[in-house]
Amino acid sequence: MKKNKQTLNKRRVFLPLFVASFGLGLGILFSEFTKNDLDVFKAEGILWPSPPKLNEFFLIDKDNLPFTLDNLKGRWSIIFFGFANCPDICPSTLIEMSKAERKLRAMPEFGNSGQLIFVSVDPERDSPTVLKTYVSHFSSNLQAASGSQEELRILAKSVGAIFLKVDSHDDDHNHSYSVDHSAGIFFVSPDATLLSVLTPPIVDTTILDRMTNVLKAYQAFKP
If pLDDT is split at 50, 70 and 90, which confidence band does 171 have?
A: low
Q: What is the DSSP string of 51-100?
A: PPBPPP-EEEETTS-EEEGGGGTTS-EEEEEE-TT--SHHHHHHHHHHHH
Looking at the structure, tell me whether residues 203 and 101 fall in a common domain.
yes
Residue 50 lies in a domain: no
Looking at the structure, tell me whether residues 119 and 91 fall in a common domain.
yes
What is residue 132's predicted lDDT score, i.e. its pLDDT? 98
Looking at the structure, tell me whether residues 73 and 173 fall in a common domain.
yes
28: pLDDT strictly greater than 70? no
Looking at the structure, tell me whether residues 177 and 93 fall in a common domain.
yes
Looking at the structure, tell me whether residues 38 and 68 fall in a common domain.
no
Predicted confidence (pLDDT) per residue in 81-136, tens digit = 999 999 999 999 999 999 999 999 999 999 999 999 999 999 999 999 999 999 99
**CB 179: neighbour CB atoms within 10 A?**
20
Looking at the structure, tell me whether residues 214 and 133 fall in a common domain.
yes
Average pLDDT (136-157) is 98
Residue 48 lies in a domain: no
Looking at the structure, tell me whether residues 37 and 14 fall in a common domain.
yes
β partners of residue 149? none
Please state, in angstroms and rounded to a whole number, the distance separating the CA atoms of residues 178 and 164: 8
Please state, in angstroms and rounded to a whole number, the distance separating the CA atoms of residues 101 and 116: 8
Query: In this structure, are residues 107 and 209 in contact, taking their beta carbons and an 8 Å threshold?
Result: no
Residue 148 lies in a domain: yes
What is residue 174's predicted lDDT score, i.e. its pLDDT? 64
Looking at the structure, tell me whether residues 71 and 29 fall in a common domain.
no
Please tell me the total count of domains within the chain: 2
Looking at the structure, tell me whether residues 108 and 159 fall in a common domain.
yes
Average pLDDT (210-223) is 87
Half-sphere exposure of 166 (CA within 13 A, CB side): 11
Which CATH number characterizes residue 217's domain?
3.40.30.10
Predicted confidence (pLDDT) per residue in 59-73, tens digit = 999 999 999 999 999
Range with lowest mean pLDDT among 100-109, 179-188, 213-222? 213-222
Residue 105 lies in a domain: yes
Predicted confidence (pLDDT) per residue in 32-56, tens digit = 445 555 565 655 688 877 889 999 9
Average pLDDT (7-27) is 38
Q: What residues make up the domain containing 210?
A: 58-221
Residue 141 lies in a domain: yes
Please state, in angstroms and rounded to a whole number, the distance separating the CA atoms of residues 149 and 119: 12
What is residue 12's predicted lDDT score, i.e. its pLDDT? 43
Please state, in angstroms and rounded to a whole number, the distance separating the CA atoms of residues 115 and 118: 10
Looking at the structure, tell me whether residues 160 and 207 fall in a common domain.
yes
Q: List all residues 6 or more positions away from 128 whose beta carbon is below 8 Å from its beta carbon.
A: 60, 61, 62, 63, 64, 146
Residue 175 lies in a domain: yes
What is residue 191's predicted lDDT score, i.e. its pLDDT? 96
Looking at the structure, tell me whether residues 76 and 174 fall in a common domain.
yes
What is residue 41's predicted lDDT score, i.e. its pLDDT? 62
What is residue 134's predicted lDDT score, i.e. its pLDDT? 98
What is residue 118's predicted lDDT score, i.e. its pLDDT? 98
pTM, two decimals, is 0.81
Looking at the structure, tell me whether residues 22 and 83 fall in a common domain.
no
Residue 108 lies in a domain: yes
Please state, in angstroms and rounded to a whole number, the distance separating the CA atoms of residues 95 and 86: 13
What is residue 168's predicted lDDT score, i.e. its pLDDT? 78
Please state, in angstroms and rounded to a whole number, the distance separating the CA atoms of residues 214 and 130: 32
175: pLDDT strictly greater than 70? no
Q: What percent of the chain has pLDDT over 90?
A: 69
**CB 171: neighbour CB atoms within 10 A?**
5
If pLDDT is split at 50, 70 and 90, which confidence band does 221 have?
A: confident
What is residue 117's predicted lDDT score, i.e. its pLDDT? 98
74: pLDDT strictly greater than 70? yes
Residue 131 lies in a domain: yes
